[in-house]
A and B are shown apart, each in its own frame.
Chain A
Amino acid sequence: MSRINSPFPILRATANLLTSHKKILYPSLFLLFVNLLVLEFLYFIPHFPLKIFFGPLIEKIWGESYLYYPLDLVLLPKLFYYAQMVVYFAIGSFLLGVTVHMVNAANNEERLSFKNSVTKTLPVYLNIFLASVVSFILFQVVNFFLGLLVFRAGSITSVSPLAVGIKKLIIVGAPYVQFIFGLLVTIILAYLTPVIVLERKKIAQSIALNLKTLFSSFWLTVTIVVIPTIFYLPILLIRNNIGVLVYKTIPEVQIAVIALSVIATVIINMFIMTSTTLFYLYKKDMQ
């Protein structure tokens, strides 16, 4: 087996595997389905009969106006963000673990079964859940410093062109910096789920092995993660300019943007997870 120095063989192998073994897509498709179902449910909160149950809660937290068109659609991305976190912790991270299991099975030329992979991954559910918590905490810590930076930029009162420029750069660029931070966290923990699922190790040992694998092929891992993630940039651009888009079209465009963002995220995560798993298996074979 020749040594891999470029990300493209891995990415090509990933694309080939996903097209030849479509069952690997099942966990991600299921996750996509759950996310869209949640989005649909949240959209109907200001409508009868869900309004009866959820209306008072929304009224108490955000105010009555958020129960009426079009402000309900302004609140929708926020509600969906919270709901998406719950979905990710509860089943999203687990389904990525199932994907890892299926990729391994396909690599070993075993028969693919979604049900079987779910059953086999279930014993490591807790470790996968802990891994998602670690990833979340890491992201929040990094995000906290970004928040401090934005807060500091917001308090710049100088009107000199340089100060105004810096302030604008930090505030406007914050969502993109946040995106890069997210990317960094994904890179740092790129092999964590494959290690947990394939090696059946506990969380601390898995983190150690993940870091060992990462630093043995750092730049290759970076490119494996970055290349698919680049496809999310146009969506990020749309999301950051959603106000203009809503003004030029109709408020419902927010729902389409959220749905598009969910689809892109699920596909990108699946692709990254498949690539990192394949690369991890390759490295294991090399040893």
Chain B
Amino acid sequence: MKRPVFLGIAILIGVYVFFSCLDWNGTYGGQRELWLIERDFKNKVQDKETPTSYELEKIAKHFRHYVKKHSKTRLAARAQLSVGQVYMIKKDFIQARIEFAKVSQIYAKDKEFLAQAEANIAETYKSEDNWPDALRVLQGIIKQYPLTPTGFSIPIYIAKYYEVRGYKTEALESFERAAAFYTDLAQKNPKKPLEFDSLRMIVYCRLAQSRWSDALNALREMILKFPTGSVLNESLQVINNIAVMKLHDYDRAISIYNEFLMKHPKHPATDVVKRMLAGLNSLKKTGTLISTKPL
């Protein structure tokens, strides 16, 4: 009885040791170690009482130790970003910028990390009420890393900065520049997910600018090229709202829907589109005008 039990346990231990040895130089152990430090950091920040300077220094020390141990790796770059964030919480923005700048020396292969480091530098300037320097850094990200998730979101971020603070002219100009940026990306990346994302951003910009006709054009392009999932339903709804309530031009929506049915006759959404067409035709026939509501 004892022998088979011991044999089973020995095999289980042996398999564990075998696979652990194979992954000796792998990143899994490093991922775990970093996650535990990050959790500690997150817990300290989430505590109701603000972490003391000593506690933050201690966390920074752990991250630095990690960076040293796993130098020149992707995970080390992530840890270095966290070092900068610790100093941001400490409101030591100068030190935070120094730490963020180190990311490129640790791991320059991942452009997203570099873009994130730069975006964090911009955030430190913003926290110091130094928008011109923040803007300079943000524009640098757009130029250097336009295809990273962070770089992709920056043009909208800048425009929203102005919009939220009520700088209407600057906001409109920024949305215009953002729309131009996304149009360029969409044209350079046809049939790729990036084109879809860019078209969505163009719609967002045009809606923010109240340029309804341009928004309809972008939506038309989007649903004809990428008729996918919940975004399609959402887009159809927005097309209806713009055509009926903003432009009072039923023909625009009717023409888009007819084009959709011709291009995608077997699409699961054809019934919905047909119902929408019937509704629009009926409204058009009776000449009903639906009053404008804010979108």
Contacts and interface: CB of A to CB of B under 8 A. Distances in A.
A136 interface: no
A1 B250 CA distance: 90
Interface of B is mostly: helix
Contacts of A41: 15
Interface stretch (A9-17, A25-33, A94-102): A25-33
A161 interface: no
Contacts of B16: 40
Contact of B23 (A22, A33, A47, A68): A47
Contacts of A68: 31
A37 interface: yes
Contacts, number: 43
A48 interface: yes
Contacts of B5: 29
Nearest to B24: A48
Contacts of B23: 44, 47-49
A200 interface: no
A243 to B, nearest CB: 14
A40 B15 contact: yes
B28 A40 contact: no
B26 A47 contact: yes
B1 A37 contact: no
A47 B19 CA distance: 8
Interface of A is mostly: helix
A26 B5 CA distance: 9
B11 interface: yes
Nearest to B7: A33
Interface in B1-55: 1, 4-5, 8, 11-12, 15-16, 19, 22-23, 26, 28, 31-32, 35-36
Interface residues of A, number: 21
A33 B12 contact: yes
Nearest to A33: B8
Contacts of A69: 28, 31-32, 35
Interface in A172-229: none
Contacts of B26: 47-48
Contact of B4 (A26, A70, A250): A26
A49 B26 CA distance: 9
A33 B6 CA distance: 11
Nearest to A73: B32
Contacts of A36: 12
A239 interface: no
Interface in A10-65: 22-23, 25-26, 29, 32-33, 36-37, 40-41, 44, 46-50
A70 B37 CA distance: 13
A26 B1 CA distance: 8
B35 A70 contact: yes
Given A33-B11, A37-B15, A47 B4 contact: no
Contact of A49 (B4, B15, B22): B22
Contacts of A37: 11-12, 15
Contact of A29 (B8, B22, B35): B8
A14 B225 CA distance: 68
Nearest to A46: B28
Contacts of B8: 29, 32-33
A36 B35 CA distance: 26
A50 B23 CA distance: 10
Contacts of B4: 26, 29
17 contacts: A26-B4, A29-B4, A29-B5, A29-B8, A37-B15, A44-B19, A46-B28, A47-B19, A47-B26, A47-B28, A48-B22, A48-B23, A48-B26, A68-B31, A69-B31, A69-B32, A69-B35
| 9 shortest interchain CB distances as A-B pairs | A69-B31, A47-B23, A44-B19, A33-B8, A48-B26, A22-B1, A48-B23, A69-B32, A47-B28
